Amino acid sequence: QQQVKQSPQSLIVQKGGISIINCAYENTAFDYFPWYQQFPGKGPALLIAIRPDVSEKKEGRFTISFNKSAKQFSLHIMDSQPGDSATYFCAASIETGANNLFFGTGTRLTVIP
């Protein structure tokens, strides 16, 4: 059973456009929601993370929007660049427990110059 559902599976965006990736979860015990970026042949790298006490977090061109009641969160990449082309994973964990991450299935982002 997939604990975190992610969409879309792939996304093509023009340079300068906004990339939006959505995730949903069921387990209300989750209290930590990170996004990871992964390039081919590399391990995932933490991009940005949010906890349920806030509805939005922004770091540079990356913003997480969090809707606790809907159990959904999304990643927005503003002014998308070709260098952002990668696979993005949302994840969730119970930070006070083992904190093992449950990952979504990934979104392959391609930014066209």
Partner 1 sequence: DTGVSQNPRHKITKRGQNVTFRCDPISEHNRLYWYRQTLGQGPEFLTYFQNEAQLEKSRLLSDRFSAERPKGSFSTLEIQRTEQGDSAMYLCASSLMSMGGTQYFGPGTRLLVL
* Binding residues vs partner 1 (CB under 8 A): 6, 32, 34, 36, 41-46, 49, 89, 91, 93, 95, 98-106
49 Cα distance to chain centroid: 8
For partner 1, which is the closer residue by CB, 86 or 91? 91
Shortest spacing between CB 29 and partner 1, in angstroms: 13
Output the six-digit token pair for 63: 């913003």
* Burial of 6 (C-beta count, 10 Å sphere; 0-12/13-18/19+): buried
For partner 1, which is the closer residue by CB, 17 or 38? 38
> 């449950």: which residue's tokens?
102
For partner 1, which is the closer residue by CB, 39 or 78? 39
